[in-house]
Amino acid sequence: MRYLSTRGAAPALSFEDVLLAGLASDGGLYVPETLPRFSRDEITALRGLSYPALAERVIAPFIAGAVPEDDLRTILEDCYAVFRHGAVAPLVQLGPNQWVMELFHGPTLAFKDFALQLLGRLLDYILERRGEKVVIMGATSGDTGSAAIEGCRRCENVDIFILHPHGRVSEVQRRQMTTVPGEGIHNLAVEGNFDDCQAMVKASFGAQGFLPDGRRLVAVNSINWARIMAQVVYYFHAALALGGPDRPVAFSVPTGNFGDIFAGYLARGMGLPVSQLVIATNRNDVLHRVLTSGLYDRQPLEASLSPSMDITVSSNFERLLFDLYGRDGETVAGLMRAFDDGQVQLSRNALADARALFSSHRVDDDGTCAEIAGTWAASEYLLDPHTAIGLAAARAASRDPAVPMVTLATAHPAKFPDAVRRAGVEREPALPAHLADLYDREERYTVLPNDLAAVQTFMADNLRA
Ligand SMILES: Cc1ncc(COP(=O)(O)O)c(C=O)c1O
Ligand SMILES: N[C@@H](CCOP(=O)(O)O)C(=O)O
């Protein structure tokens, strides 16, 4: 299996090199040259497998022998053993054919653990084999940061630098990142927003000369292909649990960087009968606007009750554009240049194809609170604000009522107690036991100006030997 850059001008790489590369040297994102395809019988044969065994079957074609079978099995078993629910990703029914898949039973209480537990272990394994040290640089609007730190903190061969927008993540999210002890772990609170942090990460991948000793950056954001690959698995898990492949399943996905829903798009491309993919956005609705009008444009970022989705430059949309434009890297590079300058108008064909693949819905803060309150009143089920957006979009979507609709529950409500309170729900969401003393732990982070040179200087000065 080889991986191609969406901008067509970087060399094709193997899985191992893609894992370590993050962003392609031409600024593009890596995607597999061909998508593995499972027949209906092959999907049927996946029924009843444990989560790690299912993960092994789904991702083995992408890893393509970079990790020997037995080692991959051990890695996957270790990854999902740390989840606090026997089903790993349990499904909860909230109404007729209305389900949520709880993706928040990992160590940091968000869906990011599914991929970052794996990414950390794969990195550890491969860096040890190569005898190499790397520098992890990531941007977070709240959840990727703690999941990356938790997934990678035991890796001997990495220093970790996570940029978050100062004052724009929830207190629980911040404490989850900043209370993890470790000499090689650095949290940088940037006086800007998530887009600024993400732009600094991408710029740094493009010019890594600021790092001493020829060290290289590795990405933990969903620009790293391994993140997306791991997220494909839970679409299979849900569909198989609800009667697939004999029955189609629909998904509603709270969306920001377009990584999670892109994994669903890939699952469909791999043969899973996915009848519908609903893009659920908050007020930062670039993806809803592009599907509505075809105009992919940059708008100012606004803070919302769902801070993890406060993103206006949606990285993985580029991976979809690559497919929508016939996998023509030069065209995608041109589109991304135009987007960087302000806006892109999708062609009539690309827009029609995008609309055939996805529907979309925008939910503002009032709609988020109404969904949290309504679901609590109807079912005594507590939603976090991101999942609430997904569920509100699932209810609003025009759909076949005979097809199960699964909303991805991307975070635990205890990460966002303020939003739950604002929704008028009196039940205080409790943190699980392993985080019960989170507010007593000592925090460590550095506030930096919204300035690339300041961030890069801090990184270079604080690398371990
Ligand atoms: C809780 C939560 N829900 C939804 C999302 C959106 O996921 P994606 O960026 O993959 O679209 C994020 C972060 O990205 C998140 O942290
Ligand atoms: N919502 C994310 C933002 C980063 O997205 P990623 O999936 O590309 O890592 C977060 O919580 O940090």
Pocket test for ligand 1, best of 29, 100, 105, 111 (most atoms within 8 A of CB): 111
pLDDT of 348 above 90:
yes
Q: Which ligand is nearest to the CA of 254?
A: 1
Closest ligand 2 atom to Cα of 222: 8
Closest ligand 1 atom to Cα of 384: 1
State the total domains in the chain.
Answer: 1
Q: Quick one: pLDDT at residue 22?
A: 85
Cα(120) to centroid(ligand 2), Å: 16
Q: pLDDT by residue (tens digit) across 287-332?
A: 999 999 999 999 999 999 999 999 999 999 999 999 999 999 999 9
DSSP 295-352: EEE-------S-GGG--SS-TTHHHHHHHHTTT-HHHHHHHHHHHHHTEEEPPHHHHH
Nearest to 136, CA basis, from 117, 108, 155, 111: 155
Closest ligand 1 atom to Cα of 110: 1
Q: Which ligand is nearest to the CA of 263?
A: 1
pLDDT of 462 above 90:
yes
pLDDT of 432 above 90:
yes
Cα(41) to centroid(ligand 2), Å: 35
Q: What is the ipTM of this complex?
A: 0.99
| 465 — pLDDT class (breaks 50, 70, 90) | confident
Q: Give domain status of residue 81, yes or no.
A: no
Q: Quick one: pLDDT at residue 213?
A: 83
Query: Which residues does ligand 1 sit against, CB inside 6 Å?
Result: 110, 143, 222, 254-260, 308-309, 386, 410-411
How many helices (H) and strands (E) in the chain? 18, 15
Q: Which ligand is nearest to the CA of 139?
A: 2
Q: Give domain status of residue 278, yes or no.
A: yes
Average pLDDT over residues 6-23: 96
Residue 265: both structure tokens together: 């798009």
Q: Which residues contact 21 (CB under 8 A, 6 or more apart)?
A: 13, 30, 218, 219
Cα(45) to centroid(ligand 2), Å: 33
CATH code where residue 105 lies? 3.40.50.1100
User: 134: part of which helix (H) or strand (E)?
Assistant: strand 134-139
Residues pairing with 13 in the sheet:
3
The owner of tokens 């791991």 is 230
- pTM for the model stands at 0.98
Q: Give domain status of residue 396, yes or no.
A: yes
Question: Which residues does the annotation mark as catalytic?
Answer: 112
Cα(407) to centroid(ligand 1), Å: 13
The owner of tokens 């670039």 is 286
Q: Quick one: pLDDT at residue 175?
A: 98
Q: Give domain status of residue 74, yes or no.
A: no
Q: What share of the chain has pLDDT > 90, as a percent? A: 97
Q: pLDDT by residue (tens digit) across 61-96?
A: 999 899 999 999 999 999 999 999 999 999 999 999
Q: Give domain status of residue 163, yes or no.
A: no
| 214 — pLDDT class (breaks 50, 70, 90) | confident
> Taking a C-beta distance cutoff of 8 angstroms, is the pair 150, 140 a contact?
no
Q: Quick one: pLDDT at residue 221?
A: 98
> Taking a C-beta distance cutoff of 8 angstroms, is the pair 365, 305 a contact?
yes
User: 252: part of which helix (H) or strand (E)?
Assistant: strand 249-254
pLDDT of 202 above 90:
yes
Closest ligand 2 atom to Cα of 144: 12
Q: Give domain status of residue 246, yes or no.
A: yes
Average pLDDT over residues 227-254: 98
Q: Give domain status of residue 367, yes or no.
A: yes
The CB density around residue 183, as the number of other CB atoms within 10 Å, is: 8
Q: Give domain status of residue 150, yes or no.
A: no
Cα(309) to centroid(ligand 1), Å: 6
CA distance 315 to 73: 30
Pocket test for ligand 2, best of 221, 223, 228, 310 (most atoms within 8 A of CB): 221
Give the domain extent around 272.
Answer: 87-110+225-422
Residues pairing with 139 in the sheet:
163
CA distance 195 to 299: 11
